[in-house]
Amino acid sequence: MLLIPAIDLKDGQCVQLRQGIMDSATVYSTDPAAMARHWVEAGARRLHVVDLDGAFAGQPVNRDLVRRIAQAAGDVPVQVGGGIRDLETARAYLEIGVSQVITGTRAVDDPDFLAALSETFPGQVVLGLDARDGRLATRGWATLKEVDAVAFASELDVELFAIVYTDVSRDGMLAGVNVAATERMALAAKAPIIASGGVRSLDDLRALDGLGLGPDRLLGAISGSALYEGTLDFASAQRWLGVR
């Protein structure tokens, strides 16, 4: 299982939000590319980058910054989401060194787009499913839909690299990962799940690993606030994961 550091971008800075609320941003670095180098040097095997401004705008806002992050990451894969709602945007990101693009809002609203995206860029598409109380949240989590997240995932028949499943109510709150919901999603979906939202400590990684799902169903977990606030020590987590 991978522990994947999050680099969320807002106004050119590396931030973390609480429950996706833009006004709640805590700034952790004014140089996101340097933060990417930090995580790579610490041993990260994948980075998760979100253009928060782009998620709300519906189109990329921090593309040049993402390019610099991809360059700083070197051979470490970078997955990027936020405002990716057409093939041209996805292609532009992949051309600047991003390994996988994450699409959420457009994919939920238009599954045919998700199919076209995955067919055009095989192995390079991640679906972002964000949920609050089990229901899908889109457009920067500002819109709550009457659609069950697990049911949506179970009905998909497209080739995906992975699905990032985020419990919005826990994101940035250091409240602990929603293990039960993650398990339901992992058992229902046809692609590996990357858990997101609420990771606080090594206990969360132990709980996820304890599900016994394997990397084909549970690829890893994203952590932002816990790593930046120090409730989860990256080096200690890496050592624990390295012996699994």
| Whole-Å CA distances, 208 to 180, 216, 221, 241, 244 | 9, 14, 9, 12, 12
Residue 164's Cβ-count burial label (10 Å; 0-12, 13-18, 19+) is buried
Does residue 218 contact residue 182 with C-beta atoms inside 8 Å? yes
Residues with catalytic roles = 8, 130
CA angle 72, 120, 153 (to 5 degrees): 90
2 Cβ neighbours under 8 A, 6+ residues apart:
45, 46, 194, 219, 220, 221, 241
75 Cβ neighbours under 8 A, 6+ residues apart:
none
200 Cβ neighbours under 8 A, 6+ residues apart:
174, 175, 176, 177, 226, 231, 232
Report how far apart the first and last C-alpha atoms of the chain are (Å, whole number).
8
